[in-house]
Amino acid sequence: MTVKDAGRAARAGKRATDSRAPAREPEREADGAELIQLLTPEGERVEHPDYPLEISAAEVKALYRDLVIVRRIDFEAIALQRQGELGIWASLLGQEAAQIGSGRALSPRDMAFPTYREHGVAWCRGLDPLKLLELFRGVSHGGWDPTAHNFHLYTIVIGSQTLHATGYAMGIQRDGAVGDGGEAVIAYFGDGATSQGDVNEAFIWASVNNAPIVFFCQNNQWAISEPLERQSRTPLYLRAKGFGFPGVRVDGNDVLACLAVTRKAMQAAREGQGPTLIEAFTYRMGAHTTTDDPTRYRLSAELEAWKLKDPIERVKQYLIRTGQAEMSFFDEVEAEAAAVGSRVRTACQRMPDPEPVSMFDNVLTAPTDQLAAERDGFAAYLDSFEAEEAVAAGDRR
């Protein structure tokens, strides 16, 4: 069965069959929805008939390395915020597998549209983590070129980027870049964003245009203090059906499942089979941002239960139990992560503030006369202080 056939079968509501599928009850969440899982929290590899995944030890180890490094970057960023080096930080703790699994499913030509928490996806796309710290330090609003790594700017207004992603996908269609060797788009958003009009409009536009896009929703259960019940009475992945395209729920803490499910959906999109909604079922282990206090609205028991589903530990257990990695491998990864963390920390502390007059740059493609006059007036105003200080210094002498 080709991927295309599998996509068609899924769209027809049929379950594709695979002779390798073991007789195993699928994992289910409390709301009864099936959860695509390829690696259990205990580190046991399981098969799913729709998502066969051939993956080498080297590839699993590479994913493990990604997971550990992005958690380390996140850890350093939280510490930097606590020390006053960053204004705020939105932690990805707990969501590493969803981001690395989906991020590594992308080809270089695919385009990713992130929220403001996709630090793991940024890592996969090759963006320097310092670019992220610039934003949270207040040195820039992002300021990277989206075309450099096919990773769009962080978008802070909830859900807005899903429309940009859909429009970009419509551009891919107009470029004739769908089909063999085609391109596709992935749009990231969270459970809270599914209540936004823009996200629902994006679903409609993507659907009626059959746009090459994957909607990747990280359902981390909490939109700041509001639990999923405040956003939806139906499992989120089921929303896709009403818009006319398939939706799946994947274990968002299972990097292998996220990789396999995203790969398949992206391939279907590239081939012209239209959009897919992926709900990555995960948990925000930390606060919404460093200014949030989750103890005011959620129970520690919930956190403890999710700790047992940690996305990194299960990969480690799998690698150990299958003998695919020596202990020295884990030490090496730890050392590399520490080195990355150290570099990020030092560079952040040394990051200079931008020049004051630079705030006038890039409002339009060229400054208007009015803006140029404002900038020049501001520069002269700043200079006037220096002149006064020079005179005062002269008086003192």
* Catalytic residue IDs: 284, 288, 297
Among the listed ranges 49-57, 87-95, 154-162, 385-393, the one in contact with another protein (CB under 8 A) is: 154-162
| 367-379 residues labelled b (16+ CB within 10 A) or e (exposed) | beeeeeeebeeee
Cα distance between residue 227 and residue 232, in whole Å: 9
Asked if 175 interacts with another protein (CB under 8 A), we say yes
* 50, 74, 110, 198: which one binds another protein (CB under 8 A): 198
C-alpha 354, offset from chain centre: 27
Asked if 83 interacts with another protein (CB under 8 A), we say no
Among the listed ranges 10-18, 37-45, 65-73, 362-370, the one in contact with another protein (CB under 8 A) is: 362-370
CB of 151 to another protein, least distance (A): 12
Question: In the chain, where do the E strands start and end?
Answer: 27-28, 34-35, 111-113, 185-190, 213-219, 222-223, 226-227, 247-251, 276-281
Task: Count the residues of the shown chain that bind another protein, applying the rule CB under 8 A.
Answer: 42
Structure tokens at 113: 């549209």
Given the complex with another protein, which of 143 and 179 has the nearer CB atom? Answer: 143
Q: Considering only residues 207-246, where is the footprint of another protein by CB under 8 A?
A: 208
How buried is residue 125: exposed, middle or buried, by Cβ count under 10 Å (0-12/13-18/19+)? buried
Residues 6+ apart with CB under 8 A from 94: 220, 253, 282, 283, 284, 285, 286, 306, 310, 311
Given the complex with another protein, which of 56 and 362 has the nearer CB atom? Answer: 362
Q: How many CB atoms lie within 10 A of CB 34?
A: 16
| 183-208 residues labelled b (16+ CB within 10 A) or e (exposed) | bbbbbbbbbbbbebebbbebbebbbe
Given the complex with another protein, which of 157 and 347 has the nearer CB atom? Answer: 157
CB of 169 to another protein, least distance (A): 7
Residues 6+ apart with CB under 8 A from 124: 66, 99, 100, 103, 104, 106
Asked if 306 interacts with another protein (CB under 8 A), we say no
* 121, 169, 184, 348: which one binds another protein (CB under 8 A): 169
Cα distance between residue 188 and residue 154, in whole Å: 10
CB of 290 to another protein, least distance (A): 22
CB of 40 to another protein, least distance (A): 38
Asked if 1 interacts with another protein (CB under 8 A), we say no
* Nearest to 210, CA basis, from 243, 187, 181, 180: 243
Given the complex with another protein, which of 157 and 339 has the nearer CB atom? Answer: 157
Among the listed ranges 60-68, 116-124, 200-208, 339-347, the one in contact with another protein (CB under 8 A) is: 200-208
Residues 6+ apart with CB under 8 A from 220: 94, 95, 190, 191, 252, 282, 283, 284
Asked if 383 interacts with another protein (CB under 8 A), we say no
Given the complex with another protein, which of 145 and 229 has the nearer CB atom? Answer: 145
Given the complex with another protein, which of 304 and 353 has the nearer CB atom? Answer: 353
Site string for another protein, 134-153 (x = CB under 8 A): ------xxxxxxxx----xx
Asked if 194 interacts with another protein (CB under 8 A), we say no
The site for another protein (CB under 8 A) is made up of 140-147, 152-153, 155, 157, 160, 162-172, 174-175, 197-198, 201-202, 204-205, 208, 361-365, 368-371
